[in-house]
Structure 1
Amino acid sequence: MSLQLLPAGEESPDVQVSWEDQQKINLFSKLNARLSNLEEVEKNTKDQKEYLEEVSTEIELIDEDELVQYKIGEAFYWLKQAEVVEKLEQDTEKSEAELDDITTKMTSIKEQMESLKLALYAKFGNAINLER
C-alpha cells in the first residue's frame, strides 16, 4: 500500500505506510480535531469572560441597596447589587479557571502533534501534509 497525498501532477516516491504509521496519522487527526474543538471552546469562554467583566462594571455603578435581576440557570432572581457583583466575580473567576484548563490542554495537544509531525515528516517528507 502506498500513500499518495500530493496534489495531482506532483510526483512522490512510493512510500510504504506501516500499521504504526497509520496509527500515528490517525492520532494526529484526532488531536487536530480535539484542538479545533478546544479553540472554539476557548473563544466562547473568552467572550463569556469579557461579557461578565463588562456587566460587572455596569452593575457596580448601581446603588448597593437596589435590586437587580440575575439569571441563575433558566430563571431570573431579584438580588441586591452587592450580591450580584459578588456572583459576577465568582463567575469571572470560574471562566478564568476554565481558560487556564483549556490552555493547558491545548499546549499538551500541540506538543503531541509536534512530536507526531516530526516522526511522520521524517518518514514521508513532502508526501504528507500535516499543516492546519
Structure 2
Amino acid sequence: MELLPDGQRNTATEVSWEDQQKINKFSTLINKKDEQLEVLEKLKVEKEYLDDLSMEIELLDEDDRIQYKVGEVFIFMKVSKAIAKIEAENEKLETRISGIDEIIEECDESLGDLKKQLYAKFGNNINLER
C-alpha cells in the first residue's frame, strides 16, 4: 500500500552507485560555484573601489604626495607612483576576476551535462533546481 496523493503513482527509478556519484558531484559543483560567485562579487566591489580611487587621484597634481597604504601602514608617495601601483593592482584584480569567471563557466557546463544525464534517467523524480 502506497501513501501517495490521489492521482499520483510511484514512478521511482532505482538509484545506482554511479547515479549517486553524479548527484554528489552536482552538489559539490553547486557549492563550488556559490563560493566562487561570492569571491567574484567581493573582487568586483574591490575593483570598483580602485577605479573610483584612481579617478580621484588623477585629479591631483603629479608632484603632490599622498598617503598610500602598504600592509598596515601608510607611507607618503608621489601621485604618479601611487597611480602606477593602483593600475598594477587593478590588473591583478582583472586577472583574478577573469580566472574566476572561467571557473564559473566550467562549473555551469558540468552542471548542465549532469542535469541532462540525471533528468534523462529520473525525469520528474529528481529536482536539481534551486
Question: TM (normalized to structure 2)?
Answer: 0.91
Give the aligned CA root-mean-square deviation in angstroms: 1.4
Partner SS, residue 77 of structure 1: strand
For 1:84, the aligned partner's letter is A
**1:50–1:12 distance in 2 versus 1, CA, 3 Å:** farther
CA displacement 1:96-131 (0-9 Å, x = unmatched): 111110111111111011010000000110111111
**Unaligned stretches of 5+ in structure 2?**
none
Q: What is the match of residue 31 of structure 1?
A: 29
1:117 pairs with one of 115, 118, 125: 115
CA displacement 1:23-64 (0-9 Å, x = unmatched): 000000000000001111111111111110000000011111
**Unaligned stretches of 5+ in structure 1?**
1-7
Q: Find runs of 4+ consecutive structure 1 residues off by over 4 angstroms.
A: 8-12
- Structure showing greater radius of gyration is 2
Distance in 2 (alpha carbons) for counterparts of 1:76 and 1:56: 17
Distance in 2 (alpha carbons) for counterparts of 1:128 and 1:72: 52
- What percentage of residue pairs aligned between the two structures are identical? 45
